[in-house]
């Protein structure tokens, strides 16, 4: 049978990806430029027995997602700009309580209301450090409509596998543009479901590390009864201030994502003509599309340029960026903000190569010419 | 590098030019199986004011999703022509609605005019199909997709009751453009 194909907006592809992954709860509050994600979920979830709820604001929306996720649902919210800011405290709650859920942020500029209808990439550091306290973060950053579909599926998988909130960041340009999508057949993309506890309800502890760094999560409200809190907790879920327990808890929650094994599983990059590249363009989301255009133009002019595109922004692809820094004469970081990921690149490549940057926050995309000019500066 | 062909539809918000862009992208990518990206200017002024929709079509994957050098541009109003009829490639084309664009921006490209809104009102009887007439004309002028692909995409987009109306509009636009080109 021929595959279903359609011309879809990035936001619509995101919702379709969520449905493919088995998402059965959406709690949100509409905000430009993310609204179409909610719009599609509102239409589709009732058809598959899921729940859609529009809450009183973004904070309530995030709270509903945490509740639904704890109760066993695959839960999603989508937001933008100030909506993402409002969700931060509860994202921290989902981190410490280890609640699997997916937060989509269709990025516009900022701070505050900023320019609601313009594209931006200025929430990439917020995705890492927006909520207070030490915590791990997973953030994925697709650059095409098809990839928004597949990365949304992957976000649900990672959320379930690592029992934590996962963010999908894409900018307004890919959120609103339309491209042809091939819908994967059921089973074609991996869909990971939550590990169930193997012990009886009486024996169950929600943070029992004898089951590994990611203890199984029972459905809240089922026969498994347990306590959930935003306080540092012991393995039974009740609050503790015991120094050794708090320390071990905090370290485990970072280690579960940042250990070598997890990094190898979570990290995902695309490289284009990097093997012999003398200059590497580091770009993500829609900006990477301008960068790819620039690489082709530069190659036709005899400049050995290549593109490194992190699809997983967090955890940051430290090893590979370090290697590319050793290999290249220069690196150019292009992003629709006034310089955010460039600091991570700088931290990793140190002084091994020259570093250039292209930044833009006027609501216009970074065009290939701007990138090409900067490449010539660092060579 | 994959060849890219860039088309821009511009006019007043509410004239259906984003829809025209979507239909063209569907004709290219769904019906003809090529690569296409459609995007639009998107602002608080989207209704009324000038709006634009861009379609990039290529035989390979399309990287930069916005227009770089426009091959063909449509302007339905003077404001849209002033704001968006720029960046047109040397040897490219600009199609304007002759009743509304009195001073088309000049450049090293061909300018054609058709009274698009008037054709919709007088010859089809509904102003609402002006975008479909414009789409037919742009496809005729650019040959970027086959005539039948455009028609098929239009018909897939509209409700049953409006199929005849839109078919007529599309073919009228196509014929008028071919007539002008033939002169």
CATH at residue A318: 3.40.50.920
Residues A86 and A26 in one domain: yes
Query: How many CA within 13 A on the CB side of residue A353?
Result: 27
Query: In the structure, what pLDDT confidence band is assigned to residue B2 with cuts at 50, 70 and 90?
Result: low
What is the C-alpha end-to-end distance of chain A, expressed in Å?
Answer: 51
Residues A114 and A137 in one domain: yes
Q: Is the pLDDT of residue B47 over 70?
A: no
**Phi, psi dihedrals of residue B155, rounded to the nearest 5°:** -65, -30
Spatial contact of A306 and A279, defined as CB atoms under 8 Å apart: yes
Mean pLDDT of the A35-64 span: 98
Tell me the average pLDDT of chain A: 97
Mean pLDDT of the B38-52 span: 74
Residues A50 and A31 in one domain: yes
Q: Do A286 and B65 touch (CB under 8 A)?
A: yes
Q: What is the pLDDT of residues A4-33, one digit of tens each?
A: 999 999 999 999 999 999 999 999 999 999
Structural domains of chain B sorted by starting position, each given as residue range(s) with its CATH number in brackets: 4-182 (3.40.920.10)
Residues A123 and A215 in one domain: no
Q: What is the pLDDT of residues A178-196, one digit of tens each?
A: 999 999 999 999 999 999 9
Query: In the structure, what pLDDT confidence band is assigned to residue B13 with cuts at 50, 70 and 90?
Result: confident
Interface of B with A in 17-36 (CB under 8 A): 22, 25-26, 29-30, 35-36
- The reply to whether A15 falls in a domain is yes
Residues A345 and A300 in one domain: yes
Residues A255 and A363 in one domain: no
Residues A101 and A53 in one domain: yes
- The reply to whether A247 falls in a domain is yes
Residues A41 and A165 in one domain: yes
For chain A, state the CA radius of gyration: 21
| Residue B164, C-beta contacts closer than 8 angstroms, at least 6 positions apart | none
**Which chain B residues touch A4 with a CB distance below 8 Å?**
none
Q: Do B26 and A7 touch (CB under 8 A)?
A: yes
Question: Which ipTM value was assigned to this complex?
Answer: 0.94
Q: What is the pLDDT of residues A204-226, one digit of tens each?
A: 999 999 999 999 999 999 999 99
Cα separation, A290 vs A295, in Å, equals: 9
Q: What is the pLDDT of residues A280-338, one digit of tens each?
A: 999 999 999 999 999 999 999 999 999 999 999 999 999 999 999 999 999 999 999 99
Q: Do B30 and A179 touch (CB under 8 A)?
A: no
CATH at residue A65: 3.40.50.970
Residues A247 and A333 in one domain: no
Q: What is the pLDDT of residues B15-42, one digit of tens each?
A: 999 999 999 999 999 999 999 999 987 6
- The reply to whether A188 falls in a domain is no
What are the helix (H) ranges across chain B? 17-26, 78-84, 116-118, 130-142, 147-157, 163-182
Query: Closest approach of chain A CAs to the CA of B62, in angstroms?
Result: 8
Q: What is the pLDDT of residues B158-176, one digit of tens each?
A: 999 999 999 999 999 999 9
- The reply to whether A201 falls in a domain is no
Which structure tokens are listed for A74?
């695959």
Q: Which domain holds residue A35?
A: 5-182
Residue that wins the pLDDT comparison between B108 and A2: B108
> What pLDDT score was predicted for residue B3?
86
Spatial contact of B70 and B8, defined as CB atoms under 8 Å apart: yes
Boundary of a domain, candidates A182, A201, A230: A182
Q: Is the pLDDT of residue B44 over 60?
A: no
Query: In the structure, what pLDDT confidence band is assigned to residue B48 with cuts at 50, 70 and 90?
Result: low
**Which chain B residues touch A289 with a CB distance below 8 Å?**
63-65
**Which chain A residues touch B43 with a CB distance below 8 Å?**
117
**Phi, psi dihedrals of residue A226, rounded to the nearest 5°:** -155, 170
Burial B69-92 (b: 16+ CB within 10 A, else e): ebbbbbbbbbbbbbbbbeebbeeb
> What pLDDT score was predicted for residue B43?
57
H-helix or E-strand spanning residue A291: helix A286-300
Mean pLDDT of the A39-53 span: 98
Strand order in the sheet with A5-9: A5-9, A178-182, B35-40, B48-58, B4-13, B70-75, B88-97, B110-114
Mean pLDDT of the A41-50 span: 98
Residue from A11, A80, A148, A180 whose CB has the most chain B CBs within 10 Å, to mutate: A180
Domain count, chain A: 3
Residues A95 and A37 in one domain: yes
Residues A105 and A120 in one domain: yes
- The reply to whether A152 falls in a domain is yes
Residues A292 and A359 in one domain: yes
């Amino acid at each position: 049978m021929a595959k279903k194909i359609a011309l879809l907006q990035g936001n619509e592809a995101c919702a379709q990806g969520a449905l493919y992954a088995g998402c059965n709860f959406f709690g949100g509050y509409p905000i430009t430029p993310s609204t179409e994600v909610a719009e599609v979920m509102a239409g589709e979830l009732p058809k598959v027995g899921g729940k859609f709820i529009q809450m009183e604001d973004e904070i309530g929306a995030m709270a509903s997602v945490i509740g639904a996720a704890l109760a066993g649902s695959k839960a999603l919210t989508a937001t933008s700009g100030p909506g993402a800011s409002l969700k931060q405290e509860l994202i921290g709650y989902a981190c410490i309580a280890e609640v699997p859920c997916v937060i989509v942020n269709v990025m516009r500029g900022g701070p505050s209301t900023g320019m609601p209808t313009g594209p931006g990439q200025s929430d990439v550091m917020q995705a890492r450090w927006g909520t207070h306290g030490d915590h791990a973060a997973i953030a994925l950053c697709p650059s095409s409509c098809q990839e928004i579909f597949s990365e949304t599926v992957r976000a649900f998988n990672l959320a379930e596998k690592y029992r934590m909130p996962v963010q999908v960041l894409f900018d307004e340009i890919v959120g609103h543009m339309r491209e042809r999508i091939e819908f994967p057949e059921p089973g074609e993309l991996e869909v990971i479901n939550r590990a169930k506890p193997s012990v009886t309800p009486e024996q169950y502890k929600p943070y029992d590390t004898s089951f590994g760094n990611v203890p199984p999560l029972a459905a809240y409200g089922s026969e498994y009864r347990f306590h959930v809190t935003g306080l540092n907790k012991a393995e039974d879920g009740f609050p503790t201030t015991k120094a050794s327990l708090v320390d071990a808890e905090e370290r485990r929650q970072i280690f579960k994502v940042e250990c070598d094994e997890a990094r190898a599983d979570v990290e995902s990059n695309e490289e284009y003509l990097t093997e012999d590249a003398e200059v590497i363009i580091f770009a993500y989301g829609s900006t990477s599309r301008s960068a790819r255009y620039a690489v082709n133009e530069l190659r036709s002019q005899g400049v050995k340029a290549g593109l490194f595109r992190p699809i997983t922004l967090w955890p940051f692809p430290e090893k590979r960026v370090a290697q590319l820094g050793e290999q290249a004469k220069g690196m150019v970081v292009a992003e629709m903000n006034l310089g955010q990921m460039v600091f991570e690149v700088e931290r990793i490549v140190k002084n091994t190569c020259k570093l250039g940057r292209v930044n833009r926050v006027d609501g216009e995309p970074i065009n290939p010419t701007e990138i090409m000019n900067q490449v010539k500066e660092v060579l | 590098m994959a060849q890219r062909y860039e088309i821009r539809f511009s006019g007043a918000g509410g004239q259906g030019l984003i829809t025209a862009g979507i239909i063209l992208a569907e004709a290219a990518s769904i019906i003809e199986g090529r690569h296409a990206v459609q995007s639009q200017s998107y602002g608080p002024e989207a209704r009324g004011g000038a709006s634009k929709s861009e379609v990039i079509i290529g035989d390979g994957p399309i990287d930069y999703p916005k227009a770089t050098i426009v091959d063909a541009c449509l302007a339905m109003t003077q404001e849209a022509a002033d704001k968006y009829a720029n960046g047109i490639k040397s040897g490219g084309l600009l199609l304007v609605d002759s009743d509304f664009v009195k001073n088309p921006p000049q450049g090293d490209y061909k300018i054609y005019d058709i009274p698009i809104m008037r054709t919709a009102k007088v010859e089809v009887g509904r102003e609402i199909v002006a975008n479909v007439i414009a789409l037919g004309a742009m496809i005729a002028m650019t040959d970027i997709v086959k005539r039948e692909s455009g028609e098929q995409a239009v018909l897939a987009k509209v409700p049953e009751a409006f199929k005849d109306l839109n078919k007529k509009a599309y073919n009228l636009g196509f014929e008028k453009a071919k007539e002008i080109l033939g002169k």
